[in-house]
Amino acid sequence: MAKMGRIQGNAMVWVWPSNKKLIDRGTRLICELTSKSYEQSCLLLFEAMERVEKLREKGQPVPSPVALVVEEHGPKTD
């Protein structure tokens, strides 16, 4: 998985949020890897899920919504 670029730090960010449990896991991963609150992370995740779905409808390659948010908002700076 690491060679495929699906790991950020010590976390596997290639998560497909297809149910409530995975949406929560993805939201918590975004919280841990960025400086966003849980609420902000959840909103960003749902926005990314919509963008990924539009890409899928166009037949384009799609990234994981969680990985997309983490990539866009970068790691948190302590």
pLDDT recorded at residue 2: 47
Question: Residues 23-32: pLDDT tens digits?
Answer: 999 999 999 8
Residues 6+ apart with CB under 8 A from 27: 38, 41, 42, 45
The pLDDT confidence band at residue 18, using thresholds 50, 70 and 90, is confident
Task: Judge contact between 65 and 48, C-beta under 8 A.
Answer: yes
Does the pLDDT at position 6 exceed 80?
Answer: no
For the whole model, what pTM was predicted? 0.79
Nearest to 63 by CA among 5, 22, 21: 5
Domain residue spans of the chain: 19-72
Question: Residues 30-72: pLDDT tens digits?
Answer: 998 898 999 999 999 999 999 999 999 999 888 889 989 988 9
